[in-house]
Amino acid sequence: MPRVLFVDDNDAVRDVMTELISAYKYDVVPTETAELAISILESDSSFDILFTDIRLGIGHSGIWLARKGPVRISAHGYRLDDWILFCVTEMAYSLADRAKADDRASDRQHV
């Protein structure tokens, strides 16, 4: 099963996208910062894809990660097959927020 390291600082987007990517039979490891992603990549060489938001709230950006990652990973003998950079639009945030609201409503109905 291909492994994806997914990086986004928005909890709702990270949760929804992790679920969505997993539905396509990918093993997804979510994280929220570029710095944590580098740390994960340095300790685990089994990722096939890095999927990162461009704008990460604190710390470095996804662009920094894409530039920094290959250099640091190559130094350790690792190689990712694919790098995906994305910028989430308001629509994606709205979908993620709606999914979370639906989950909360469903949880309240089961109480």
Give the CATH number, domain containing residue 93: 3.40.50.2300
pLDDT in tens, 72-109: 444 444 455 555 656 655 445 555 566 666 666 555 55
Lowest mean pLDDT among 41-45, 63-67, 74-78: 74-78
| Residue 53 contacts residue 16 (beta carbons within 8 Å) | no
**What domain range includes position 86?**
3-109
pTM to 2 decimal places: 0.68
CA distance 105 to 59: 34
CA distance 88 to 72: 26
The pLDDT of residue 111 is: 52
Q: How many domains does the chain have?
A: 1
